[in-house]
Amino acid sequence: MTMELVTCVGNTAALRAAVLGGADMVRIGLRNYCRAGSRSLSEEEFREAAAYCLPRGVRICAAMDLPVPAERFPGAVDAALRLASMGVSAFSVSDLGLLRALRIRMPETAVFASDAMSVHDSTGAALAAKLGASRLLLPPQLSRDGIERILHRCPIESEVLVFGFACVSCGLPCRLASFGIKGSDSSSVCTRACLESFGYASRSDGFRPALRPVFLAEHLQELEQLGVSAVTLAAEERNADFTAAFTNLFYRLLHDRKPPDGNDIYSLLRRYVPEEVSDAYFNGVPEDALLANDQPVKAKRIPPAQRFQNMAEEPQRVPVTMYAMLRSGLPIQLRAEDREGHIAAFSGAVPEATRSGKRELTEALLRTQLYNTLGTPFYCTEAHVSAEPGLSLSSLDVSRVRKAVLDRLMEQRAETPPPKTAPLPPLLRCESAYTNPELSISIRKATQLSPALAALKPLYLHVPIEVLEEDPSIITPFWENGHTRICAVLPPLVPDADAVDTYRSLSTLKQLHIEDVQIHSLSQLGPARILGFRIHCGIGLAVSNDWALRVLQDGGASSATLSPELSFSQLRQLSKCLDTELYAYGRVPLLSSETCLIKAAGGSCDCHKACGLLDKAGRLYPIQRTGGCRSILFSADKLFLGDRLKELKTLGVRCLHLAFTTENARECFSVAERYLGLNAYVPNAKMKGYYEENRISSGFRFSKKTGSSGDAGTV
């Protein structure tokens, strides 16, 4: 098999274990720019990692898969440039703006589109390739047929997760850690909050909205036949023993003539993985991928005697050609050359004339000794030898000179040339003239609409496409007010298998004179533009910087909802080349699941009944249906900025977005009036989100208060 083996690691010990295990590439998160949080490396640690990996022929990919605010954007580009000069050969990103900027700044450096970009179809893959992505990290929720459709229609390098944790959220970024049960000072950093135990209905706990670990060891041959370029082993949360064991397992599965059998695989899984693994998504049965309620979630403690021992010998990855010359009265000359053009030479001991009792060092014998490179990352493909007859030299002397020349070659391989760079053109600063933002309202069900709400004349009314199809007459009062534009909202995820029906339904809305559509995925940008709609980008795209807005503008978007993880100061710094919306009220969508969470938690699928998950504090996280029998989990608290209207007018946004989920028609009207300054309505269970000092502030999460001693004060 020719697929590349990529191991994701979280520390330097695991990195060495992955290299010794046989990884072709290691992916490491760059601290402060990746979802892995503490399971990442600093720039100085990247330098040490490069010095270890590059001589051994192992590539390094730096993960920068967090949205980057405008104030940190130049620093992110500069950090990537420094890493490239150290020898990092690829970057995986999820931010559209960062993808374009890195492609311009380092035109010959590989930039991968992360699975956090949530590209689930061939249309999105083609757009990612057009933006400059050299490889697409496919989401683990894709089935065999979904992978085949993408690779058949879009010839782009692809990477598939074959073992490790997979996020349950698809189509929307997971915000369970930042806005859910575990508030984090760093937004979007994954803390595996989905492993928390939730209650449902009469049950107090026991349900976890998490997936079983993905395990596709039995499908490697299928993946290669589909055209997959690389397979990924996600081991960021694992120790060095685990990383070495499973990297070596997949290395043998990919390269050995006698791969490990089922007993070897079962033994490793039983020893290291407490949860039951699954290939359900790949087989097209996503409902079987959810973690069972009674499954353990904590890793087992492995006794030292049972731990996997790292390999003593390095995998020999780097091909070299050896040249040797043996002449009377001259030191032995040895030269080694790799395929990248590095050449190292060394002179050793002077050979002696063959005497009684000493063996002659013939060309055949010297060639055999040059091929013996065990214990090094090199393997000799050719050995060119010229030796005078009648000379002898000990094997120890030949071994010393061979080691010396290979050590010099390793030193040369660690020295990487600077990457080819190009200047990053400055973006034209666009100052927004909006000082009195209008309202943009989104609803989840028809009963939330009322003539009174229509009389308030919001600029936009966002209605799910399935609600519009069921009863188009519900929007009549909003048509009649002469001001509101109706916007059809697409589901967060439209896979290739559903694309024809979904976009056919969207095109029929043109007969109702609906000209606007809201999208939450990069994949939906192209079809909406082709159908001639005015495109509004939702919070699923996590727009955080000027460059991302520019990419969306070039793609045909008319407006974008800014990421709710930004603070007020960061929002003001944005250069708004598009009309922008601020997510100013409502429950935040925490995750979008391919499976029905209602059925998984309660045993039956009653999507029309109000329901949700309960955390240990008794707070309700509503679940609502979208796009068939898929589910969206919403936050327990509602973002509320109705008491900050004066400050909201200074942000330069076109609209304040009010997202209604569980509210009734009267509540929707009261909230809209509050944001127009017409009443003093205040909802229960409210929060400020990250808008203030980039911290969650709700009923049970508070910003730190520092006293004179420097310790956190009480609330």
pLDDT digits (tens, 9 = 90+) for 411-432: 999 988 899 999 999 887 887 7
pLDDT at 57: 93
Phi, psi of 25 (to 5 degrees): -145, 145
Q: Which of 34-38, 265-269, 447-451 has the highest mean pLDDT?
A: 447-451
Left (φ > 0), alpha (ψ -120 to 50) or beta: where does 271 sit? alpha
Q: How confident is the model at residue 1 (pLDDT cuts 50, 70, 90)?
A: low
pLDDT digits (tens, 9 = 90+) for 257-314: 677 788 888 888 888 887 888 999 999 888 888 886 655 555 555 544 444 444 446 8
Task: Provide the whole-model pTM.
Answer: 0.89
Q: How confident is the model at residue 609 (pLDDT cuts 50, 70, 90)?
A: low
Q: Are 465 and 509 in contact (CB under 8 A)?
A: yes
pLDDT at 695: 53
Q: What does the pLDDT average to over 66-95?
A: 94
Which residue would you say has higher pLDDT here, 208 or 703?
208
Which residue would you say has higher pLDDT here, 187 or 651?
651
Residues of the chain with pLDDT > 90, as a percent, come to 60
What distance in Å separates the CA atoms of residue 365 and residue 124, rounded to the nearest whole number? 58
For the cut 80, the answer to whether the pLDDT of residue 181 exceeds it is no
Measure CA of the first residue to CA of the last residue in the chain; give whole Å.
60
* Ranges assigned E (strand) in 88-144: 90-93, 110-113, 135-137
For the cut 50, the answer to whether the pLDDT of residue 184 exceeds it is no
Do 4-166+214-258 and 438-587+636-687 show the same overall fold?
Answer: yes
pLDDT at 600: 80
pLDDT at 410: 94
Write the DSSP assignment of 665-702 as a string of letters. HHHHHHHHHHHTTS-----SSEE-TTTTTT---SSS--
Residues with Cβ within 8 Å of residue 248, at least 6 apart in sequence: 20, 21, 22, 311
Which residue would you say has higher pLDDT here, 128 or 36?
128
Write the DSSP assignment of 545-561 as a string of letters. SHHHHHHHHHTTEEEEE
> Could you tell me the two tokens for 682?
């205040």
Q: Which of 174-183, 424-433, 518-527 has the highest mean pLDDT?
A: 518-527
Selection from 575, 488, 588 nearest residue 540 by Cα: 588
pLDDT at 700: 37
Phi, psi of 474 (to 5 degrees): -65, -20
Q: What is the dihedral of CA 553, 516, 542, 539, to 10 degrees?
A: 160
Domain ranges of the chain: 4-166+214-258, 318-414, 438-587+636-687
For the cut 50, the answer to whether the pLDDT of residue 714 exceeds it is no
pLDDT at 634: 93
For the cut 80, the answer to whether the pLDDT of residue 239 exceeds it is yes
For the cut 80, the answer to whether the pLDDT of residue 517 exceeds it is yes
Rg (CA), the chain: 29
Q: What does the pLDDT average to over 454-461?
A: 97
Which residue would you say has higher pLDDT here, 666 or 605?
666
Which residue would you say has higher pLDDT here, 207 or 145?
145
pLDDT at 705: 34
Mean of the per-residue pLDDT values of the chain: 87
Selection from 132, 363, 336 nearest residue 117 by Cα: 132
pLDDT at 38: 74
pLDDT at 608: 55
Selection from 343, 344, 350, 353 nearest residue 398 by Cα: 350
Decide the pairing of beta strands 557-561 and 579-593. parallel
pLDDT at 336: 96
Residues of the chain with pLDDT > 70, as a percent, come to 90
> At the fourth CATH level, which superfamily is domain 438-587+636-687?
Aldolase class I (3.20.20.70)
DSSP 414: H
What distance in Å separates the CA atoms of residue 402 and residue 375, rounded to the nearest whole number? 12
Q: Are 219 and 207 in contact (CB under 8 A)?
A: no
For the cut 80, the answer to whether the pLDDT of residue 628 exceeds it is no
Q: What does the pLDDT average to over 136-147?
A: 92
For the cut 80, the answer to whether the pLDDT of residue 687 exceeds it is yes
Fold of 4-166+214-258: TIM Barrel (3.20.20)
Which residue would you say has higher pLDDT here, 361 or 703?
361
Q: Are 132 and 100 in contact (CB under 8 A)?
A: yes
pLDDT at 408: 95
106: exposed, middle or buried (Cβ count in 10 Å: 0-12, 13-18, 19+) = buried
